[in-house]
Amino acid sequence: MAQYDYIVIGAGSAGYVVANRLTEDCETTMLLLEAGNPDTKPEIQIPAECMKLLGSEVDWGYFSEAEPYLNDRKMFCSRGRVRF
């Protein structure tokens, strides 16, 4: 069983920065975990096509809590779920 000095969960912008800084010391071991499948969908690489990905298998499908100032509607909060 492998042991790591650090485990970084989530490879978003902050996760990548933290992981990069941790790897500056070659004596430190680090595991970077990310959810999802590889980013093989062509729409991921084409900004104009991003709307096609909303609610798909590469989106977490998060919603906000009911917002009182929006007549208790829940807002869709798109978040990607792919590995790079």
In this structure, the answer to whether residues 43 and 83 fall within a common structural domain is: yes
Model pTM score: 0.59
pLDDT 10s digits, 7-20:
999 888 888 899 99
In this structure, the answer to whether residues 45 and 84 fall within a common structural domain is: yes
- Among candidate residues 81, 44, 83, the one with its CA nearest the CA of residue 61: 81
Q: Count other C-beta atoms under 10 Å from residue 1's C-beta.
A: 2
> What is the total count of domains within the chain?
2
Could you tell me if 30 and 4 are in contact, meaning their C-beta atoms sit under 8 angstroms apart?
Answer: yes
In this structure, the answer to whether residues 2 and 25 fall within a common structural domain is: yes
pLDDT 10s digits, 39-61:
888 898 898 998 899 988 899 89
- Backbone phi, then psi, for 7, in 5-degree steps? -125, 120
